Amino acid sequence: QLQLVESGGGLVQSGGSLRLSCVASGFFVTLDYYAMGWFRQAPGKEREAVSCISSTDGSTNYADSVKDRFTISKDNAKNTVYLQMNNLKPEDTAVYYCAATWRTCAGWVDASSWRSWGQGTQVTVSS
């Protein structure tokens, strides 16, 4: 089983930046075997896919709302995936979750396709 723990959330001014981290642990060989993603959920809304990075070729996917502002990356040696968030907007306020699935980002927008989830970290952007 793969366990995921997010950190790095907090309160930031509009236009500012944050970097979220997600550390994997548990009984697995290496993070190389997993595609990793980020989702977010605002109060009263459904969980929204934000980004994904594939283990097969390192390709990435982004929601249109965060494209050119957010960047996903992974450090396999540290079992950690990151989400660099720049030029934050109040609309980005949400609980952010990391997730893992097997190898590729096929179907990444569908939350039900992901195997493991973290508990989330709060991001609040003030205007």
Q: Which is more confident, 11 or 2?
A: 11
Mean pLDDT on 54-65: 94
Mean pLDDT on 98-114: 95
pLDDT score at 44: 94
pLDDT score at 30: 80
What percent of the chain has a predicted confidence (pLDDT) above 90?
Answer: 88
Mean pLDDT on 50-61: 94
The amino acid present at 91, given as its one-letter code, is: E
Average pLDDT, the chain: 95
CB 27 within 8 A of CB 79: no
The distance in angstroms from the start CA to the end CA of the chain is: 40
